[in-house]
């Protein structure tokens, strides 16, 4: 089964796979957000994060390759009374515009193999304006012990060293590594090992 088919299947349920509320780490970054500007939410799925960013006053582009997810994203945005721009594209192949966004968010997009991840992160770097804010969270290798979500491939999981190599030249780099109970829809439930990053280009 292709990744596309797998995610189409996962999103083709009545419920929101990861719930309707934003990722807790993203929500904790609210004080860092600009009062206005453009935000890119990468592999945004059903847009729980993109919709929340729009509620904070940002002009949001929600990028995903699943039509099933984006149909639900449109419903959620309407339900919340905000507008977001839905772009249907593969996050690895999309033409990321240069210096276009004040905020770039990547939350649990760990279906990317290492070579794809390098292309995706290069695109995210390119798209972020100088001084713009990067917010990222993913599972660490210890997540394989918990088995409560995320990929089963070790190479798809995030480590501090990996993130430092990719974004260590940014300013105000901060890491949050933690193990905690997550309850974000049926997709993320139970004890989880995660790492978060905030940084400015």
CA distance 148 to 45: 19
Q: Are 40 and 61 in contact (CB under 8 A)?
A: yes
Strands of 171-184's sheet, edge to edge?
A: 85-88, 59-64, 38-42, 101-107, 128-139, 188-200, 171-184
What average pLDDT is seen over the chain? 95
* pLDDT, tens digit (0-9, with 9 covering 90-100), for 125-151: 999 999 999 999 999 999 999 999 889
Sorting pLDDT into bands at 50, 70 and 90, what band is 86?
Answer: very high
Nearest to 107, CA basis, from 30, 18, 178, 13 = 18
Q: What is the pLDDT of residue 188?
A: 79
pTM as predicted: 0.96
pLDDT tops 90 at residue 189? no
CA distance 19 to 165: 32
Three-state SS at 57: coil
Q: What is the pLDDT of residue 187?
A: 77
Three-state SS at 201: coil
CATH top class, domain 3-200: alpha beta
CA distance 132 to 98: 12
CA distance 171 to 135: 13
Structure tokens of 23? Answer: 């990722």
């Amino acid at each position: 089964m292709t990744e596309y088919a797998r995610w189409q299947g996962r999103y083709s349920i009545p419920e929101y796979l990861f719930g309707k509320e934003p990722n807790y780490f993203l929500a904790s970054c609210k004080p860092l957000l600009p009062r206005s500007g453009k935000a890119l939410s990468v592999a945004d799925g059903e847009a729980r994060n993109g919709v929340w960013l729009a509620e904070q006053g940002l002009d949001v582009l929600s990028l995903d390759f699943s039509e099933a997810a984006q149909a639900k994203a449109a419903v959620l945005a309407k339900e919340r009374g905000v507008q977001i721009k839905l772009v249907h594209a593969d996050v690895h192949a999309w033409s990321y515009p240069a210096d276009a966004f004040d905020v770039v968010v990547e939350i649990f997009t760990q279906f990317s193999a290492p070579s794809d991840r390098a292309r995706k992160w290069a695109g995210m770097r390119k798209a972020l304006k100088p001084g713009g804010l990067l917010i990222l969270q993913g599972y660490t290798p210890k997540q394989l012990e918990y088995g409560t979500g995320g990929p089963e491939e070790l190479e798809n999981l995030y480590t501090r060293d990996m993130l430092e190599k990719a974004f260590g030249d940014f300013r105000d780099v901060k890491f949050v590594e933690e193990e905690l109970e997550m309850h974000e829809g049926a997709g993320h439930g139970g004890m989880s090992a995660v790492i978060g990053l905030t940084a400015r280009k």
